[in-house]
Amino acid sequence: MNKTVTKELFKKCDEVAAVMASLSHPIRLKVLCSLIDGEKSVTELTDICEISQPAMSQFLIRMKDDGMLQSRKNGQKVYYNILEKRLFKLLIAIKESYCG
């Protein structure tokens, strides 16, 4: 690997480490994997992950603050989807590697 590529890669290490830290919690990873197929409501994500709505809200707030998710409100429901295209690509790679 040439020095220029290595330098550019090293500049991104903090960013990549932050993404990996967010992915390291099973619930956050379940939420993100659930959103590969498209947006879901808080209720749907709560059911999929089998946790309480208040706990799910805390996970979603953190992930939105981390720039991973975006939300939209439709009436009383809030829907979430993946904001970052690079994250989407990473999740697809994880799915293909671990789920076939």
Question: If the chain, 100 residues long, is cut into consecutive pieces of 10 residues, what is the mean pLDDT of each piece?
Answer: 77 87 92 96 97 96 93 97 94 90
3-99: CATH class: mainly alpha
Contact 13, 6 (CB under 8 A): no
Residue 97's pLDDT is 93
Q: Which two tokens stand for residue 14?
A: 């903090």
Residue 88's pLDDT is 93
Residue 62's pLDDT is 92
Residue written as token pair 């999740």: 91
Number of separate helices (H) and strands (E) present in the chain: 6, 3
In which element (H, E) is residue 15 found? helix 13-23
Residue 1's pLDDT is 60
Residue 100's pLDDT is 72
Residue 53's pLDDT is 96
Residue 72's pLDDT is 97
